[in-house]
Amino acid sequence: TYIGSIVASVNPYKSIPGLYDRAAVERYSKHHMGEIAPHIFAVANECYRCLWKRHDNQCILISGESGAGKTESTKLILKFLSAMSQHSLELSCREKTFCVEQAILES
């Protein structure tokens, strides 16, 4: 559940199909936090959006007792941020290619 910009989660101690796959990354990358069900990807997406859109420094604090899933949560956040960064890089390359093609066509 969300508590402001905080997500409180529980380690299920088992794999849940579809919870952290590529489709989940895509789904949460297209919504603002609070628009769809609470998820660690929503927190990561909010962090990513604030970093790039508002140029605000970001920090994600992951807390819990031993065995609560802190390491796994960190890996999931890094997975999401890595996917978003890769997507941004691909878009940037496409835009540059398009600009070069336009310049060639206009010459």
User: How many domains is the chain partitioned into structurally?
Assistant: 1
Q: Which residue has the higher pLDDT, 104 or 19?
A: 19
pTM: predicted TM-score of the whole model, two decimal places? 0.75
Q: Which residues are annotated as a binding site?
A: 64-71
Q: Which residues are annotated as a binding site for ATP?
A: 64-71
Return all residues near 80 (Cβ < 8 A) that are at least 6 apart: 25, 28, 29, 40, 41, 44, 45, 48
| Domain residue limits at 41 | 2-106
Burial of 68: CB neighbours in 10 Å, binned 0-12, 13-18, 19+? middle
Residue 98: pLDDT over 60: no
Residue 27: pLDDT over 70: yes
Question: Lowest mean pLDDT: which of 4-18, 20-34, 91-105?
Answer: 91-105
CATH of the domain at 86: 3.40.850.10
